[in-house]
Amino acid sequence: MSEIILGIESTAHTAGVGIITSEGKILSNQRSVYIPDKGEGIHPREAANHHSEKFPILFKSALEEANLSPKEITLVSYARGPGLGPCLRTGATAARAFAYAHNIPFLGVNHCVAHLEIGLLEGATDPVLLYLSGANTQVIAYAAGRYRVFGETIDIGIGNGLDKFAREAGMGFPGGPKLEKIAEGDELIDLPYSVKGMDLAFSGLMTAAKQKVDAGHSLPSIAYSVQETAFAMSCEVSERALAHTGKTELVLGGGVACNSRLREMAMTMAEERGVKCFVPEKALCVDNGVMIGWLGYQMMAADYEITDDDNRVNQKYRTDMVEVTWR
Site residues for Fe ion per CB under 5 A: 133, 287
Q: Is 220 in the site for ligand ATP (CB under 6 A)?
A: no
Q: Is residue 180 close enough to count as binding ligand ATP by CB under 6 A?
A: yes
Residue 70 is classified by DSSP as G
Partnered with residue 148 across adjacent β-strands are 141
| Site stretch for ligand ATP (CB under 6 A), options 63-71, 160-168, 200-208, 212-220 | 160-168
Minimum CB separation of residue 286 from Fe ion in Å reads 7
Could you say whether residue 32 binds ligand ATP (CB under 6 A)? no
Preceding peptide of 105 cis, ω within 30°: no
Nearest to 17 by CA among 29, 26, 5: 29
Residue 65's SS3 state is helix
Closest to ligand ATP by CB, 268 or 307: 268
Write down the least CB distance from residue 177 to ligand ATP, Å: 4
- Torsion angle, alpha carbons of 69, 70, 75, 78, to 10: 120
The option from ligand ATP, Fe ion, none interacting with 259 (CB < 5 to 8 A, set by class) reads ligand ATP
Q: Is 175 in the site for ligand ATP (CB under 6 A)?
A: yes
Per-residue DSSP letter, 144: T
CB 21 within 8 A of CB 4: yes
The reply on whether position 163 binds ligand ATP by CB under 6 A is yes
Going across the sheet that includes 26-33, the strands are: 26-33, 14-21, 4-9, 75-81, 106-110
Interface residue with ligand ATP, options 18, 119, 174, 296 (CB under 6 A): 174
Q: Is 280 in the site for ligand ATP (CB under 6 A)?
A: no
Rounded distance between C-alpha atoms, residue 5 and residue 64, angstroms: 15
Tell me, letter by letter, the H, E, C secondary structure of 149-182: EEEEECCCCHHHHHHHHHHHCCCCCCHHHHHHHH
**Closest CB to ligand ATP among 16 and 127?**
16
* R_g of the chain computed on alpha carbons: 19
Q: At what angle do helices 111-120 and 289-301 cross, to 10 degrees?
A: 80
Q: How far apart are the first and last CA of the chain?
A: 21
287 is a contact residue toward ligand ATP (CB under 6 A): yes
| Residue 9, binding choice from Fe ion, ligand ATP, none, Cβ under 5 to 8 Å by partner class | none
Residue 127's binding partner out of Fe ion, ligand ATP, none, with CB under 5 to 8 Å set by partner kind: none
Per CB under 6 A, the segment of 168-176, 218-226, 263-271, 319-327 that binds ligand ATP is 168-176
* Residue 162 interface partner, choices ligand ATP, Fe ion, none, CB cut-off 5-8 Å depending on type: ligand ATP
Q: Which is nearer to Fe ion, 151 or 159 (CB)?
A: 159
Judged by CB under 6 A, which stretch of 43-51, 134-142, 228-236, 297-305 contacts ligand ATP?
A: 134-142
12 binds ligand ATP (CB under 6 A): yes
Pick from 5, 7, 11, 231 the residue near ligand ATP by CB under 6 A: 11
Question: Running DSSP on this structure, what letter comes out for residue 9?
Answer: E
- The residue among 133 and 298 lying less far from Fe ion, judged by its C-beta, is 133
259 binds ligand ATP (CB under 6 A): yes
Q: Does 119 bind ligand ATP (CB under 6 A)?
A: no
The DSSP-derived string for 109-136 is EEHHHHHHHHHHTTT-SS-EEEEE-SS-
Are 135 and 82 within 8 A, CB to CB?
yes
Q: How far apart are CA 183 and CA 185, in angstroms?
A: 7
Interface ranges with ligand ATP (CB under 6 A): 11-12, 14, 83, 111, 115, 133-136, 157, 159-160, 162-163, 174-177, 180, 254-256, 258-259, 286-287
